[in-house]
Amino acid sequence: MPFMRMSLNLSDVQANPPSKNTMIHHLPASKTGRKSRVFSYQRFSSGSQADGSSLERQDSKFQEFFINECEPMGYVFDSAFVDKETSSYTGKHLAEGQLKAFLKGCENGKVKAGDILAVENMDRLTRMDIIKSVRLVFEIIQDHSVTLVFLDCKHLPPITADAIKEQPWLLGQLEQEMIRAHGESKRKSDLITEGLASVQRQTLAGTRAYSSRGPAWLESIKELQVTSKGIEKMMPVQAEEGFH
């Protein structure tokens, strides 16, 4: 999967300059000889977020972070990786999405040690179970020596393998974020699964229609036959012969 290269929208930054609350994350200085680069990873999962509001928010935070914190320390912007309507709970973004493309870039040397990956929060990076999430984070920070920055987590410094060795409590903080993100998604998944199972049970029992949608040539009306249990049924109407 190819790199997804994007440029910073500097016109928007100039029109809406970022706040001056700089150096929140206290980045190390860029490496000498080769300026370290900054990559952005942005993701949303549901179709209801496809109107751009989620990506707009994530991109705005990244631009503020880059202008205020990265440029003063000598970093340069390289690429943004964006996964649209891609789940981080199922791991689809890691199996076939742009996060996979980023990790591939780490493996082939396009992303180098000392570079930064900036993500809005843990939810965007992973909602997988704790073992898979820990494995992913350590693949980034230990196997590839990339610095991980969570833009919304002001209480966390830039995450590196050395930082965790020096401050072991960081691992506990990361694990709490992982458990929270996974737990929220698991709860939603369980509710959806139970909801579908309930619909199937009622359909098999004949107490509700599984769906009110039918072929385009079959007109239907909703007959409000409210029973004592408050159940509404869909009653088909005989369609005229031929196509409309």
CA distance 181 to 177: 6
Q: How far apart are CA 144 and CA 159, in angstroms?
A: 13
Tens-digit pLDDT profile for the chain (244 aa)?
Answer: 444 545 455 444 444 444 444 457 888 888 767 889 999 999 998 755 544 588 999 999 999 999 999 999 999 999 999 999 998 889 999 999 999 999 999 999 999 999 999 999 999 999 999 999 999 999 999 999 999 999 998 889 999 999 999 999 999 999 999 999 877 755 564 444 555 555 566 667 767 665 555 555 444 444 444 444 454 444 444 434 443 3
Q: Can you tell me the distance from the alpha carbon of 38 to that of 67, in angstroms, rounded to the nearest whole number?
A: 11
Query: How far apart are the C-alpha atoms of 180 and 196, rounded to whole Å?
Result: 25
Residues 6+ apart with CB under 8 A from 125: 41, 43, 88, 99, 119, 136, 137, 150
- Is this structure's pTM higher than 0.85? no
Q: What is the 3-state secondary structure (H, E, C) of 104-117?
A: HHHHCCCCCCCCEE
Domain boundaries, given as residue ranges, for the chain: 10-185, 212-238
Identify the architecture of domain 10-185 in CATH.
3-Layer(aba) Sandwich (3.40)
Q: What are phi and psi of 102, to 5 degrees?
A: -65, -45
